A and B are shown apart, each in its own frame.
Chain A
Amino acid sequence: MGDTLMSLLSHTNPGFIVILAGMLAYVIRGEIPRAVVTIGGPLLGLAALVLHSALSEPLATLNMMDMTFVLYQVERVSIVFGLAFLIAATVNSIFALHNKDPLQDSMALIYAGAAIAATFAGDLITVFVFWELTAVSSVFLILKSGTPEAYKASMRYLGIQILSGVLLLMGATFIMGEFGTLEFDAFISEGEGLSLQDDPGAIFLFVALGIKAAFPLLHNWLQDSYSKATHTGSVVLSAFTTKLAVYALWRFFPGEDSLIWIGAIMTVFPVFFAVIENDLRKVLAYSLNNQVGFMVCAIGIGTPLALNGAAAHAFAHIIYKGLLFMSMGAVMYRVGTTKATELGGLYRTMPFTAIFCIIGAASISAFPLFSGFVAKSLTMSAVGYEHMTIIWMMLLFASAGVLEHSGIKIPFFAFFAHDSGKRPKEAPFNMLLAMGIASFFCIWIGFPFLGGTEFLYGLLPYRDEAMVYLEQSLWTTDHVLTQMQLLVFAALAFIVLNRVKLYPPEKRGVVLDFDWVYRRPLYHALVWTGAVWSKAGPAMTGAALRLSRRVYNRIEATFSPQGELSRGPLSAGMAIWTSIVLAIVMVLALIVGPH
């Protein structure tokens, strides 16, 4: 019995277990049994991953319609992403224990499970199915906010996510035509992907992944929806969609040159929006853009060190970004807003949330001894080794920018700065526990001699290169010194500008971004078109109908059995002559045609 269970677990995609737990969470109404399922599901998924029986070969397949669907295949890189997703799903379930909302619990787990299942899928159709499931399930986490703004944002979110899925399917169709199969093993291998120049389907795939990864100009769904999700929903959303896209980029497009610039631009532009944004959850969404940019850039560079950097960064980022969203989720839950203008001084009654937020902020800023330093250093070094001066400067600039918006702005304006007079209770125990677990990972991974850095580097796809980097480059005096110089001088700039009152005060309002294009001019154009059609439409339809009726009547009057051409002896003669001409043509064709 035990052996059968072990064998079953070792051949089951951990994502399926989490999805099943999500379905159960909806039907189980008791709070304690539902808590057991929501936390136990991801933990069982972790057990399944640990027990996986083989690397780089199909562990579960489905044959249907003359095609083989690889439902479960474990690669080294999928372990990094899958493990981070499973940890995030477990921590998120703990964070949401107070919710008592079966629908949110259920959708959060189905969403997480779909992302995990896609990470361990071995063919494009299986990825497509779970790609779409992530979109459909996650939209409930925005909808459940219950506000009209959240409803509109969720519809915009759903539209663009489904579009991404459709593009992925189109890409899959081309790849099927080119390679005759959709199994990854036939057209990609670890570190070798598709070519945008040679593979027509690759372009569709690239845009599909670009939407989910929130490439520049395709990024607005992220800020739009994450800031309007429920206080637990934004935590869940922050972990999966963009990182699933990063995983897919890692598999399909390692070394794709255009990703270097796309990623570098992604790291830089959100910094400017984040500095003037008032909603701290939106600031975190911009920060998410910035962090994913580092990963995208590393994938574009494509060397083993850079690809290790992208995977390590994703692992650390899923945890520390979740931690930051959790701290803002706790503030949202207790205060009802995350707008900087309405916060400040919350440390008095929410000190533990403040401490956890600071740990997340130190991690994302890549302070030595925290996880961000261990992860981001790989990418920065990989860019340096390739002597890409401009890209390296952009990433360095973005690193200082991260300190501004996530390292300082988030904790400072929420918990310190001016006293808002609000004295909310500390976050509930389950939230503190979840934040505590995430904080533990941030420190364990980042602090030397605790074994966390070795654990993370040992998981990476190019393990040997990672271990050499760990021994020779990570903790060198000059590396730690230069990182501390960058961050401490940036912090000094904050203090100086704040003291001389040059730091722009937080102000209520929205910040225009590229979504202005479709929420204003395009929206107005559509409204105008609708108004014009409502007036001109009936008249134009009437004219078209009258015209087509006259044409039909004329044709009928000419060609029908009672029509002009059928009247009199002419029609009979014409029929005879037509038959004669046809017979001549057929005889000629028989004589002169090919034999």
Chain B
Amino acid sequence: MSEITPEEHTQDTRPAKHSGERYFGWTSHPKAGLYTFIFVGVLAAGLALADFFVHRHEYIHLAEFKMFYALFGFAAFGGVVLSGWPLRKLLGRPENYYEPEEETDNG
């Protein structure tokens, strides 16, 4: 079976209202981003607050600080994403970066 998608696979012939919109249509709502932000923000605040009421058993001393996991998760994720900007400048190349010269050699 070829990896190139056959023409008949590329287009859905069903009506414009797609079945997936029943489950995920809300994600295309103009305010979806804001609502998600509020929902996750409230959830995060609740989890952070819970840290003050739940006694934790830690084997790593650093982790004993209140909200350690919350701050670490936010900082680690943010750091990784922000590192993408300089890394792409440093390591990003055009799509045909390797191929032309290797092709020349083979051809």
Residue of A272, A335, A486 with most chain B CB atoms under a 10 A cut-off: A486
| B99 pairs with A490, CB closer than 8 A | no
Distance, CA A505 to CA B29, complexed state (A): 21
Contact A336 to B73, CB < 8 A, known contacts A424-B10, A478-B57, A497-B78: no
Residues in chain B near residue A487, CB distance under 8 A: 73
| B72 pairs with A400, CB closer than 8 A | yes
- Nearest A residue to B88, CB-CB: A276
Contact A276 to B50, CB < 8 A, known contacts A347-B23, A416-B24, A523-B102: no
Decide yes or no whether A271 CB sits under 8 A from chain B.
Answer: yes
Find residues 484-498 in chain A having any chain B CB closer than 8 Å to their own CB: 484-498
Decide yes or no whether A230 CB sits under 8 A from chain B.
Answer: yes
Contact A152 to B102, CB < 8 A, known contacts A492-B40, A495-B36, A509-B95: yes
| A347 pairs with B20, CB closer than 8 A | yes
Interface size class of A (residues with CB under 8 A): 35 or more
- Nearest A residue to B97, CB-CB: A510
Residues in chain B near residue A275, CB distance under 8 A: 80-81, 83-84, 87
Find residues 511-554 in chain A having any chain B CB closer than 8 Å to their own CB: 511-513, 519-520, 523, 527
Residues in chain A near residue B11, CB distance under 8 A: 423-425
Distance, CA A262 to CA B88, complexed state (A): 25
| B88 pairs with A504, CB closer than 8 A | yes
Find residues 395-440 in chain A having any chain B CB closer than 8 Å to their own CB: 396-397, 400-401, 403-404, 415-416, 419, 422-426
Decide yes or no whether A463 CB sits under 8 A from chain B.
Answer: no
> Which of B59, B81, B91, B103 makes the CB contact (< 8 A) with A404?
B81
> Chain A's interface: helix, strand, loop or mixed, by majority?
helix
| A387 pairs with B59, CB closer than 8 A | yes
| A507 pairs with B19, CB closer than 8 A | no
By the criterion of a CB under 8 Å from any partner CB, how many residues of chain B are at the interface? 72
How many residue pairs link A and B with beta carbons under 8 A? The number is 227
Distance, CA A162 to CA B106, complexed state (A): 22
Residues in chain B near residue A488, CB distance under 8 A: 40, 43-44, 47, 70, 73
Residues in chain A near residue B93, CB distance under 8 A: 509-512
CB distance from B26 to the nearest CB of A (A): 11
B74-98: contact bitstring with A at CB < 8 Å (1 yes, 0 no)?
1111101111110110011111011
Decide yes or no whether A100 CB sits under 8 A from chain B.
Answer: yes
Distance, CA A328 to CA B24, complexed state (A): 19
Distance, CA A146 to CA B10, complexed state (A): 20
Decide yes or no whether A481 CB sits under 8 A from chain B.
Answer: yes
Contact A272 to B87, CB < 8 A, known contacts A482-B56, A495-B37, A499-B33: yes
Distance, CA A318 to CA B93, complexed state (A): 32
Residues in chain B near residue A578, CB distance under 8 A: none
> Which of A334, A351, A496, A509 makes the CB contact (< 8 A) with B10?
A334
Residues in chain A near residue B87, CB distance under 8 A: 272, 275-276
CB distance from B39 to the nearest CB of A (A): 9
> Which of A476, A482, A511 makes the CB contact (< 8 A) with B92?
A511
Decide yes or no whether A195 CB sits under 8 A from chain B.
Answer: no
> Chain B's interface: helix, strand, loop or mixed, by majority?
helix
- Nearest B residue to A101, CB-CB: B1
- Nearest A residue to B78, CB-CB: A493
| B51 pairs with A502, CB closer than 8 A | no
| B47 pairs with A147, CB closer than 8 A | no
| A424 pairs with B9, CB closer than 8 A | yes
Decide yes or no whether A355 CB sits under 8 A from chain B.
Answer: yes
Residues in chain B near residue A56, CB distance under 8 A: none
Decide yes or no whether A266 CB sits under 8 A from chain B.
Answer: no
> Which of A350, A494, A502, A520 makes the CB contact (< 8 A) with B20?
A350
CB distance from B59 to the nearest CB of A (A): 4
Decide yes or no whether A477 CB sits under 8 A from chain B.
Answer: yes
Distance, CA A149 to CA B59, complexed state (A): 49
> Which of A415, A490, A508 makes the CB contact (< 8 A) with B95?
A508
| B94 pairs with A389, CB closer than 8 A | no
Contact A512 to B91, CB < 8 A, known contacts A400-B77, A486-B69: yes
A87-102: contact bitstring with B at CB < 8 Å (1 yes, 0 no)?
0000000000011110
Residue of A145, A476, A488 with most chain B CB atoms under a 10 A cut-off: A488
Distance, CA A98 to CA B10, complexed state (A): 16
A113-157: contact bitstring with B at CB < 8 Å (1 yes, 0 no)?
000000000000000000000000000000001111100100000
Residue of A507, A508, A511 with most chain B CB atoms under a 10 A cut-off: A511
> Which of B9, B57, B60, B98 makes the CB contact (< 8 A) with A334?
B9
15 contacts between A and B (CB under 8 A): A231-B3, A349-B20, A351-B24, A355-B23, A384-B60, A415-B24, A416-B27, A426-B19, A481-B47, A481-B56, A488-B40, A490-B74, A493-B81, A504-B81, A511-B91
Contact surface of A with B, Cβ cutoff 8 Å? 98-101, 104, 145-149, 152, 230-231, 271-273, 275-276, 332-336, 345, 347-351, 354-355, 381, 384-385, 387, 389, 392-393, 396-397, 400-401, 403-404, 415-416, 419, 422-426, 476-478, 481-499, 502-504, 507-513, 519-520, 523, 527
With A347-B27, A381-B59 given, name 14 new contacts (CB 8 A).
A149-B99, A231-B3, A273-B91, A276-B88, A387-B59, A392-B60, A397-B72, A400-B80, A425-B9, A489-B48, A490-B73, A490-B76, A495-B37, A512-B97
10 cross-chain pairs, A with B, having the tightest CB-CB distances, nearest first: A351-B20, A490-B77, A384-B59, A400-B76, A336-B5, A489-B73, A504-B84, A486-B73, A348-B18, A493-B77
